[in-house]
């Protein structure tokens, strides 16, 4: 079993325990936390954050970072807006187009990093500006101001914002009020299953870890490191596109500012989820849990009456604690890996 | 053994910036031939191997594999065509399992890229059986001792079922019994028609398992011969070159100063670091050069790091000029008059993009302080003096150090510490990767420091260097200081035997 | 030892690379001047400097951080908090000197905290300053709430940001002062040399006996000070203190200016003077595009493309 196996890593177990403890804490101390309505808020409010965080996991795995995924979300959102409201393209064609656009944006990022040899921080900083600019360029809201108040009604798009009354289906709702399951949560689960399988059981997955852990060793072993890196950023772009679709469906419109700042949230969720910025460690599981952990904390604090501003401080503190804990693990790991107790000394 | 070479390099030249690593090398290995590649550090062996395996692309020249031209600088292609390499520095993924590492990048897959774990394991087990190697396939590579990690590297190369295998210092960490096992494997591969390149500086191994030998010096191939037609002294002579061979012959008649002036500057008593080295005891005197030699992996660097405070030892005592010393960082050691020239001048010694003057001043900025300010004028003056004393070429203090030749870079690095007139100077592999001329200059510099009364500790794997330079010689084997000799009463053979771990 | 044959084009571009930015800057200035003569009027030129003064001060002070291979993402909220603290000191009728000191100490304290955690606990700068971005922003909102605080009847304080001496606005003087001080520090103090050394090879600096962790802490303190000064100037300029000043994107603009100037994000190569070049480059670009009525989307795209091109060329030069 590979040593980066997610369920068995001590850091991941700690994460799960911490998540459970946090939820338990808030269930007990915050009124209305343990209600169906609140659970629904958590699921619907943070599923797309989890998707974005999972996307961010891939560039981080290969020792990079993607600062532009917020801008990609905005860009894809505007593409969807234009296609449906201006060009009246049917929804079942818009969905794949949106995914394609997001993926391509990611490929551009990867290409800049691999072929122009730019540092990921800088390359994605530049594309952040470029994609945000492109969003303004193609903005249907500028071209047709009358559309700013028109809601998107295409069933394929709006249908993403659906809720399933699983309580009734399963017949549980007589015993226990169940939250209605948002489709975005189901999408997240499906995406998680695919990405996790990809990472854990395919050769591409192994290559991701090799490239992230030791680029030179990967190259010398004959791995096409360039292709691996571009694919990692493409996946991030793909996840950004999915996020955009969910958000557009929810708001039934899109703005030029969609997604602003979300890349930092995604990074925070990923780090809280145990990803190491040095690469080679972690899997999509951590960032997904990290996103919901953040969500649980923020919702719980709100229900406890803690002001939004204090929440910001607490979010920062959690991030710091997570990265400090990760550092401790790194030190312990280093000590284990380099000491050779079996040496004849 | 006649026919077409399995791998061939023609006219290979490699230039890094203004460093010529390899000049017009023609090299070929036949199927079923074990060819040794030998030369001192910096002779160009690793560069040649890296070009042949595609790790780097040559500046000039071509590579042929089984008669077909091979794409340059493309490790994937070279591997695909059946050329495997065991590099000197580990290319394993330490966080992954042994099984994963053996098939790194080439895991057998089913549809959709899913790894066929069962087949992978079956093949690995069969491979281990065939070669009689014992490895735990599920262990994390990083947690294995160096010996086992080397075996994983060997398995990784063998798993490729290659037609040619290049090995760069494959026995660095291995004990005698493991070396024998490796040689048995090599003989088996040879019988199967695999061509092997064996880089090593251990003459005994070369004469034991190799058929032919290629000797390199200063980036050029200077001789080739069947092993049966040549003897050890001639090999050393060719490796080291006329000038240095003569000098070292002369030097061996030079007056040695074991224990120098008799004043003990440093006393180490039973120094121990768990899992690294144990019970190391020695004294270092003013006015002598004490060389510690041994194989790669004997933990000499780890030892001297603790003397300088960049690492800590767990047990034993250290005394510097009569006072006990527990250094928590280099700052403390430097304050007590110790200087340290690290092994890797690029990674740990020099600021490559800064100027010669700035690098020379780096260890003594305090002396150029005027209040809160830095007196660049004084820095430049001090730099000019050092450049002239050390004959640094070109004599331009403003030049970025990256543009200097390896030898001159090393002079800057040594000069940085000489500027401080240290009481104790520790040098780790001071002449690695620099040309013969610069080596001689550095030796002269070190001898002059010795005359001025410094106590010098030199870690070196280069036996010629040790025999030339040392007043006393220490031999470290697997973390223990096995013996200390006075240089004027010792023969090189004795040292060679001790290094190999053969009990005297 | 030249090999004769190969690409003179690569050689040319390699030799031009360090001068690429000044040359491009000159080219752009000429292009804009030709397209719109109003560009070259002293009023407009001074206006450019005034516009970039805030980012310029922050970029100058953050240069050392980037030279040591780190980043400071917290400059935006520090700017806001410093403005707020100054406002409350003004409310309390404290003398101007105390007001300014209080504002600056906000930046100093946050910077020291950032630096200490990064240098001594060895946590990654991106995450640490991201966390402090969040914490400082939250603190600012708690201290000042989301509403605007008007600064009225404070002529001395207002002069800092909105004053005018011989026709030149005071932020320009302050920017010049900060730039000169930072250049002086880099050229003539041990700190300046150490920052370059740490960025070039931190391990070697350690082994040369330098207290690298202390130096690293100090560079973050300087960055914080710069952000605080910018906060004081801004609140003085617009007569308002607001907890949401320095919004998301400020820190990225600051980093872009430094990187464009030629300082590598990996650390080492870099100088305050080059950052100034990067700042003016962006300022000229923004101003020229505005004068020419270039729509904002094209401006953003252009900025992104230019950063990519400039850095790709710089990468080729090394």
- pLDDT tier, A2 (very low <50, low <70, confident <90, very high otherwise): very low
Between C303 and C62, residue with greater pLDDT: C62
Crossing angle for the helix pair C190-207 and C212-238, nearest 10 degrees?
A: 140
Nearest to B354 among C187, C200, C210 (CB): C200
Which of A240, A255, A249 is closest to A140 using CA atoms?
A255
A 33-72 residues with CB below 8 A of C?
A: 65, 67
Which of B191, B207, B241 terminates a domain? The answer is B241
Q: Is residue A340 part of a domain?
A: no
Q: pLDDT tier at A3 (50, 70, 90 boundaries)?
A: very low
> Could B330 and C205 be called an inter-chain contact, meaning their C-beta atoms sit closer than 8 Å?
no
Query: Which residues span the domain enclosing B420?
Result: 248-499
Determine, yes or no, domain membership for A84.
yes
pLDDT above 70 covers a percentage of chain A that reads 94
Q: Which of A122, A316, A327 sits opposite C132 (nearest CB)?
A: A316
Domain boundary among the residues B241, B275, B303 is at B241
The per-residue pLDDT for B426 is 94
Is C5 an 8 Å CB contact of chain B? no
Residue C164 in any domain: the answer is yes
- C192 in B contact zone (CB under 8 Å): yes
Residue C10 reports pLDDT greater than 70: no
pLDDT of A339 strictly over 60? no
In terms of residue numbers, what domain contains A318?
10-333
Q: What is the signed CA dihedral for B21, B22, B23, B25, rounded to 10 degrees?
A: 180
Query: For residue C72, what pLDDT is reported?
Result: 95
Question: How many CB atoms neighbour CB C92 within 10 A?
Answer: 10
**ipTM attached to this prediction:** 0.82
Read off the pLDDT of each residue in A124-131 and give the average, rounded to a whole number: 88
Average pLDDT over residues A152-157: 82
Cβ-based contacts of A281 with chain B (< 8 Å): 95
Select the highest-mean-pLDDT range: A316-330, B87-101, C289-303: A316-330
Give average pLDDT by consecutive 10-residue segment, chain B, 504 residues. 80 82 90 88 81 91 90 88 84 85 84 84 89 83 78 85 87 72 86 89 83 88 89 75 60 72 89 87 92 79 89 89 88 91 88 91 86 87 90 87 86 91 91 76 89 91 82 86 83 71 44
> B148 CB contacts (<8 Å, ≥6 apart)?
A342, B135
Picking from C13, C17, C70, C130 by the largest number of A CB atoms within 10 A of its own CB, the best residue to mutate is: C130
- Tell me the CATH number at B130: 3.40.50.300
Q: How many structural domains does chain A have?
A: 1
Residues B354, C197: C-beta atoms closer than 8 Å: yes
pLDDT value of position B282: 92
Confirm if B201 and B195 have CB atoms less than 8 A apart: no
Least confident of A50-64, B162-176, C82-96: B162-176
The residues near A126 (Cβ < 8 Å, ≥ 6 apart) are A112, A118, C303, C304, C305, C307, C308, C311
Q: Of C171, C229, C178, which is closest to residue C64 (Cα–Cα)?
A: C178
Q: How many domains does chain C have?
A: 1
- End-to-end alpha carbon distance in chain B: 40
Clarify whether residues B174 and B258 are in a common domain.
no
Minimal CA–CA distance to A67: which of B386, C221, B33, C249? C249
Q: In degrees to the nearest 10, what's the CA dihedral of C218, C220, C222, C224?
A: -140
Predicted confidence (pLDDT) at residue A105 exceeds the cutoff of 90: yes
pLDDT at C3: 40
**B286 lies in the same domain as B167:** no
Given a cut of 90, whether residue A59 has pLDDT beyond it is yes
Which is nearest to C223 in space by CA: C73, C119, C51?
C73
Which pLDDT does position A160 carry in this prediction? Answer: 84
A interface mutation test: which of B83, B85, B94 has the most A CBs within 10 A? B94
- Mean pLDDT of all residues in A67-71: 94
- Range of the structural domain that residue C208 is part of: 36-317
Contact C3 B358 (CB under 8 A): no
Query: B394 and B343 share a domain?
Result: yes
- Does residue B452 or residue A332 have the better pLDDT? B452
Neighbouring CB atoms inside 10 A of A167's CB total 18
Inter-chain residue contact B105 with A280, CB threshold 8 Å: no
Which chain C positions have a beta carbon within 8 Å of B349's beta carbon? 204, 207
Residues 206-225 of C with CB under 8 A from B: 206-211
Residues of C in contact with A126 (CB under 8 A): 303-305, 307-308, 311
Q: Does residue C48 register a pLDDT over 80?
A: yes
Residues of B with CB under 8 A from a CB of C: 15, 18, 20, 59-60, 308, 310, 329-331, 333-335, 340, 342, 347-354, 358, 362-363, 365, 369, 372-374, 376, 416
A interface mutation test: which of B75, B84, B95 has the most A CBs within 10 A? Answer: B95
Same domain, yes or no: B195 and B166: yes
79-138 of A, contacting C, C-beta below 8 A = 112, 116-119, 121-123, 125-137
- The predicted-structure confidence for C134-191, as pLDDT tens digits, reads as follows 999 999 999 988 889 998 888 888 888 888 888 788 899 999 999 999 999 999 999 9
Kindly tell me if the per-residue pLDDT of A340 is higher than 70: no
Which residue in the block uniquely carries the two structure tokens 């990079």? A64
Say yes or no to pLDDT of C80 above 90.
yes
Question: In degrees rounded to 5, what are phi and psi of residue C62?
Answer: -90, -5
Across the interface, whether the CB atoms of B92 and A217 are under 8 A apart is answered yes
Q: Would residue B468 count as lying in a domain?
A: yes
Higher pLDDT, B500 or A85: A85
Give pTM, 2 decimals.
0.84
Q: Is residue C10 part of a domain?
A: no
Cβ atoms of residues B182 and B204 within 8 Å: no
- Closest among A175, A162, A178, A174 to A40, alpha carbons compared: A178
Top-confidence residue, A112 or A144: A112
pLDDT at C54: 92
Kindly tell me the sign of the dihedral angle through the C-alpha atoms of A180, A182, A183, A186: negative
**pLDDT at residue B242 in the model:** 63
Count how many Cα atoms sit within 13 Å of the Cα of residue A192 in the half-sphere of its side chain: 20
Verify that B407 and B484 share a domain, yes or no: yes
Whether C21 has a pLDDT exceeding 80, the answer reads no
A129–C130 C-beta distance less than 8 A: no
Q: What is the pLDDT of residue C2?
A: 39
Domain count, chain B: 2
**A26 occurs within a structural domain:** yes
- What whole-number distance in Å separates Cα of residue C233 and Cα of residue A57? 39
- A-chain CB neighbours of B107 within 8 Å are 203, 206
* pLDDT-wise least confident of A154-168, B462-476, C66-80: A154-168
pLDDT at residue C19 above 90? no
Chain A contact for C238 (CB, 8 A cutoff) = no
What is the tens place of the pLDDT at every residue in A213-237? 888 888 888 889 999 999 999 999 9
Q: Tell me the CATH number at A305.
A: 1.10.3470
Among residues 15-44 of chain C, which lie with CB inside 8 Å of chain A?
Answer: none
Band of pLDDT at residue A185, cut at 50, 70 and 90? very high
What's the mean pLDDT when you consider all of chain A? 86
Query: A281 CB near a chain B CB, below 8 Å?
Result: yes
- What is the chain A residue with the closest CA to B103? A221
């Amino acid at each position: 079993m590979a040593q980066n196996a997610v369920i068995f890593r001590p850091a991941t177990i700690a994460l799960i325990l911490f998540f459970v403890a946090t939820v338990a804490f808030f269930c007990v101390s915050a009124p209305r936390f343990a209600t169906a309505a609140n659970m629904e808020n958590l699921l619907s409010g943070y599923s797309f954050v989890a998707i974005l965080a999972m996307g961010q996991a891939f560039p981080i795995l290969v020792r990079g970072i993607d600062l532009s995924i917020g801008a990609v979300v905005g860009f894809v959102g505007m593409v969807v807006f234009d296609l449906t409201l201006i060009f009246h393209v049917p929804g079942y064609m818009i969905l794949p187009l949106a995914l394609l656009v997001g993926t391509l944006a990611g490929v551009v990022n990867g290409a800049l990093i691999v072929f122009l040899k730019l540092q990921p921080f800088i390359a994605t900083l530049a594309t952040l500006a470029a994609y945000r600019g492109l969003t303004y360029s193609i903005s249907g809201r500028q071209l047709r101001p009358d559309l700013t108040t028109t809601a998107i009604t295409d069933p394929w798009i709006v249908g993403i914002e659906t809720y399933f009354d699983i309580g009734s289906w399963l017949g549980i709702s007589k015993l226990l009020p169940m939250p209605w399951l948002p489709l975005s949560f189901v999408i997240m689960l499906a995406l998680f299953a695919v990405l996790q399988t990809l990472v854990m059981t395919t050769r591409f997955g192994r290559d991701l870890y090799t490239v992230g852990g030791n680029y030179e060793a990967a190259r010398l072993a004959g791995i096409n490191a360039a292709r691996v890196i571009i694919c990692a950023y493409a996946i991030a772009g793909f996840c950004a596109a999915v996020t955009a679709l969910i958000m557009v469906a929810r708001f039934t419109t899109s703005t030029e500012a969609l997604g602003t700042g979300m890349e930092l949230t995604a990074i925070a969720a990923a780090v809280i989820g145990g990803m190491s910025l040095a690469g080679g460690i972690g899997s999509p599981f951590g960032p997904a849990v990290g996103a919901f952990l953040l969500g649980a904390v923020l919702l719980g604090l709100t229900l406890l009456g803690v002001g939004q501003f204090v929440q910001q401080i607490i979010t920062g503190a959690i991030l710091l604690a997570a990265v400090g804990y990760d550092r401790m693990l790194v030190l312990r790991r280093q000590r284990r890996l380099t000491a050779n107790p079996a040496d004849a000394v | 053994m006649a026919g077409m070479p399995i791998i061939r390099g023609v006219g290979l030249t490699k230039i890094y910036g203004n460093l010529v690593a390899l000049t017009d090398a023609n090299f070929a290995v036949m199927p079923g031939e074990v060819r040794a590649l030998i030369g001192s550090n910096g002779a160009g062996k690793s560069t040649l191997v890296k070009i042949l395996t595609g790790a780097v692309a040559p500046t000039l020249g071509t590579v042929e594999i089984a008669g077909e031209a091979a794409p340059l600088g493309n490790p994937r292609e070279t591997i695909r065509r059946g050329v495997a390499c065991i590099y000197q520095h580990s290319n394993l993924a330490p966080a992954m399992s042994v099984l994963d590492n053996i098939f790194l990048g080439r895991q057998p897959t089913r549809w959709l890229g899913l790894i066929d774990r069962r087949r992978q394991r079956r093949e690995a087990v069969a491979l281990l059986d065939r070669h009689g190697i014992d490895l735990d396939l599920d262990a994390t590579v990083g947690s294995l001792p160096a010996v086992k990690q080397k075996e994983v590297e060997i398995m990784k190369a063998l798993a490729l079922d290659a037609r040619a295998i290049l090995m760069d210092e494959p026995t660095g960490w291995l004990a005698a019994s493991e070396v024998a096992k490796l040689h048995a494997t090599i003989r088996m591969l040879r019988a199967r028609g695999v061509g092997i390149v064996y880089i090593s500086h251990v003459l005994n191994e070369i004469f034991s398992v190799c058929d032919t030998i290629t000797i390199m010096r200063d980036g050029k191939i200077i001789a080739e011969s069947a092993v049966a037609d040549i003897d050890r002294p001639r090999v050393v002579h060719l490796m080291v070159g006329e000038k240095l061979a003569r000098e070292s012959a002369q030097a061996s008649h030079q007056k040695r100063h074991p224990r120098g002036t008799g004043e003990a500057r440093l006393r180490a008593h039973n120094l121990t670091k768990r899992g690294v080295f144990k019970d190391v005891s020695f004294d270092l005197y003013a006015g002598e050069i004490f060389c510690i030699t041994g194989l790669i992996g004997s933990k000499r660097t780890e030892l001297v790091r603790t003397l300088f405070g960049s690492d800590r030892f767990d047990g034993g005592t250290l005394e510097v000029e009569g006072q006990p010393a527990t250094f928590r960082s280099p700052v403390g050691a430097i304050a007590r008059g110790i200087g340290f020239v690290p092994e890797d001048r690029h990674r740990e010694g020099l600021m490559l993009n800064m100027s010669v003057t700035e690098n020379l001043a780096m260890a003594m900025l305090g002396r150029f302080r005027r209040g809160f300010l830095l007196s660049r004028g004084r820095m430049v003056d001090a730099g000019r003096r050092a450049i002239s004393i050390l004959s640094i070429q070109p004599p331009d203090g403003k030049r970025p150090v990256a543009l200097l030749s390896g030898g001159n870079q090393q002079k800057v690095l040594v000069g940085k510490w000489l500027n401080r007139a240290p009481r104790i100077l520790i040098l780790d592999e001071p002449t690695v990767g620099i040309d013969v001329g610069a080596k001689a200059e550095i030796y002269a510099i070190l001898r002059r420091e010795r005359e001025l009364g410094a106590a010098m500790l030199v870690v070196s794997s280069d036996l010629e260097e040790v025999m030339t330079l040392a007043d006393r010689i220490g031999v470290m084997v697997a973390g223990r200081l096995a013996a200390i000799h006075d240089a004027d009463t010792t023969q090189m053979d004795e040292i060679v035997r001790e290094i190999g771990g053969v009990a005297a | 030892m030249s090999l004769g044959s190969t690409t003179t084009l690569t050689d040319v571009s390699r030799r031009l690379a360090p001068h690429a930015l000044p040359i491009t800057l000159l080219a752009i200035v000429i292009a804009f001047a030709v397209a719109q003569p109003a560009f070259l009027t002293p009023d407009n030129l001074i206006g450019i400097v005034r516009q970039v003064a805030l980012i310029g001060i922050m970029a100058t002070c953050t240069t050392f951080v980037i030279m040591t291979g780190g980043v400071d993402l917290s400059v935006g909220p520090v700017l806001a908090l410093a403005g707020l603290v100054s406002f409350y000191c003004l409310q309390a009728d404290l003398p101007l000197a105390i007001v300014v000191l209080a504002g600056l100490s906000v930046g100093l304290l946050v910077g020291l905290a950032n630096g200490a955690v990064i240098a001594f606990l060895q946590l990654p700068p991106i995450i640490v300053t991201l966390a402090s971005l969040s914490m400082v922003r939250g603190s600012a909102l708690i201290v000042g709430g989301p509403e605007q605080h008007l600064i009225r009847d404070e002529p001395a304080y207002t002069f800092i940001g909105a004053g005018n001496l011989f026709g030149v606005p005071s932020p320009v003087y302050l920017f010049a002062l900060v730039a000169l001080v930072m250049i002086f520090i880099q050229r003539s103090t041990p700190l300046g040399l150490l920052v370059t050394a740490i960025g070039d090879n931190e391990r070697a600096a350690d082994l040369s006996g330098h207290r690298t962790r202390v130096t690293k802490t100090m560079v973050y303190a300087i960055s914080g000070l710069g952000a605080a000064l910018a906060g004081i100037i801004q609140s003085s300029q617009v007569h308002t203190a607001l907890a949401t000043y320095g919004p998301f994107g400020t820190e990225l603009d600051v980093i872009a200016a430094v990187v464009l100037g030629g300082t590598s994000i990996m650390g080492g190569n870099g100088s305050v003077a080059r950052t100034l070049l990067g700042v003016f480059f962006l300022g000229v670009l923004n101003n020229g595009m505005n004068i020419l009525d270039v729509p904002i989307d094209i401006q953003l795209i252009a900025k992104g493309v230019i950063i990519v091109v400039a850095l790709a060329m710089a990468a080729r030069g090394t």
